[in-house]
Amino acid sequence: MSKKILLATTGSPASFGAARVAFQMAKRYGSEIIVFHVIGLPTKAYSQIVHDVRTGDEVQVDDDYKSWVEDELRNTYARQIEEAEGGVSFVLTTGVPHREILRTARSEDVDLIIMGASSGSIDHIDYKGYTGSTLQKVAKAAKCPVMTVHRESAAYRGGFNHVLFCTDFSKQANHAFKYALNTARECDCDMTMFHALDVGGKVLAQNEIEDRLIEARKRMRSLYGSQMGDFKNYDVEAWEGIPYMEIVKLARERMADLIVMAHHAGESDSDEARLGSTLEQVILRASCPVVSVNKPDKV
């Protein structure tokens, strides 16, 4: 299980769910937590003034200000910090959020990034929270899995019992599979492997759909089944529909408490990407944390 977790927080209620999951994982698995916060984006050329992401005020970031913000965060998570076993440290910085999250994840060599995702339309210059495109950019470039908790109610209720792994059979999905399997093993929980056959905008004959679903189940069994070893608690599902809807539906049906899927670069143009991709739609709608995996390094 993740030994070192980077909790990227805006300190606002939108990221409380992410914090809750992070601290609970830390408590349960003894992980170390780095509470990471971008104070603001220095919009003013080389000046020292930034817009505080929480208040929107223009502030000058110096050591005093940083320690004041750190105190605020410590108070926000006071009880959770007290219970965290593996140690809690803070990194506060200024800059462009996705860049700074990636920078710290790299220099601290973390195993998992956990962040909230606001549904806020676009990221304007103030960076009010971590928005769709921040998430897209982090998910695309991070070497480790990225867990997103969209709302408080999606926060982990103590331990994982059912992992839903969704595949589109891409290379990245193989990495995601490994992460899903390792998690299911370590948490000793059930796992469902799922492929959603995308019929959005296509007209397919019913028997063609049936054939493709059978084919997908076969493919999952041979591709992933062979890697299961002694792990037995899994089943295989394939449905047709609009992928994100089917994923969310199945997660609800199986009471999954973790969704694992691939994020691949090709999925959408990262600058244009707002909340359109399958991954982001799943994140916004799921009632549990969602982990996206893009690289093989930390699974």
Enumerate binding residues for other proteins (CB under 8 A).
42-49, 60, 62-64, 95-96, 99, 102-103, 106, 125-126, 141, 171, 265, 269, 271, 295
44 vs 157, beta carbon nearer other proteins: 44
Shortest distance in whole angstroms from residue 62 CB to other proteins: 5
CA 265 – CA 144 distance, rounded (Å): 15
Q: Closest separation between CB of residue 50 and other proteins, Å?
A: 11
Rounded-to-integer distance, Cα 98 and Cα 75, Å:
25
CB of 90 to other proteins, least distance (A): 19
Q: Which is nearer to other proteins, 98 or 162 (CB)?
A: 98
| φ and ψ at residue 43, rounded to 5 degrees | -80, -15
Cβ at position 168, least distance to other proteins in Å: 13
Distance CA 17, CA 139 (A): 18
- How is residue 136 written in tokens? 């897209």
3-state secondary structure of 177: helix
Residue placing its CB nearer to other proteins in the complex, 95 or 241: 95
Kindly tell me which of 192 and 292 has the beta carbon lying closer to other proteins.
Answer: 292
**Are residues 74 and 37 in contact, defined by beta-carbon separation less than 8 angstroms?**
no
Instruction: Please report how close the Cβ of residue 66 comes to other proteins at its closest, in angstroms.
Output: 11
* CA nearest neighbour of 1 among 128, 150, 163: 163
**C-beta of 17 vs 97, nearer to other proteins:** 97
The sign of the dihedral angle between the CA atoms of 227, 229, 231, 237 is: positive
Nearer to other proteins among residue 171 and residue 218 (C-beta): 171
- Name the token pair of 203: 């007209």
- Residue 8 CA to residue 15 CA, distance in Å, equals 8
Find the shortest distance in angstroms from Cβ 144 to other proteins: 13
What residue type is 150 in one-letter code?
H
Residue 89 CB, nearest distance to other proteins (Å)?
20
Tell me whether residue 45 or residue 203 sits nearer to other proteins (CB atom). Answer: 45
Residue of 148, 103, 131 lying closest to 263 (CA atoms): 148
- Is 131 in contact with 117 (CB distance < 8 Å)? yes
